[in-house]
Amino acid sequence: MHNMLRPRRFHHFSSRSDVFQTIIDINFWTVNAIPEDSRQYFDSYFHYHGQLVVVPIYIPLRMDAVYAGRYWPTVKNQYYQLRRWAWGISDLPYIVNQALEDRAINWWEKSRKILELIESHFSWATAAIFITFIGWLPRVFNSDFTNSVFGYNFPFVIRTILGLALIGLITGIIISFLLLPPRPRHRRKRYYLNFLWQWILAPIASIFLSSFAAIDAQTRLMIGKRLDYQVTEKAVAKSRNSKAG
Q: pLDDT band at residue 184, thresholds of 50, 70 and 90?
A: confident
Domain range list for the chain:
62-235
pLDDT at 108 over 60: yes
- Which of 168, 98, 102 shows the shortest CA–CA distance to 131? 168
Asked whether the CA dihedral 5, 169, 236, 66 is positive or negative, the reply is positive
Which residues are bridge partners to 226 per DSSP? none
Residue 237 has what pLDDT?
58
Q: pLDDT band at residue 114, thresholds of 50, 70 and 90?
A: very high
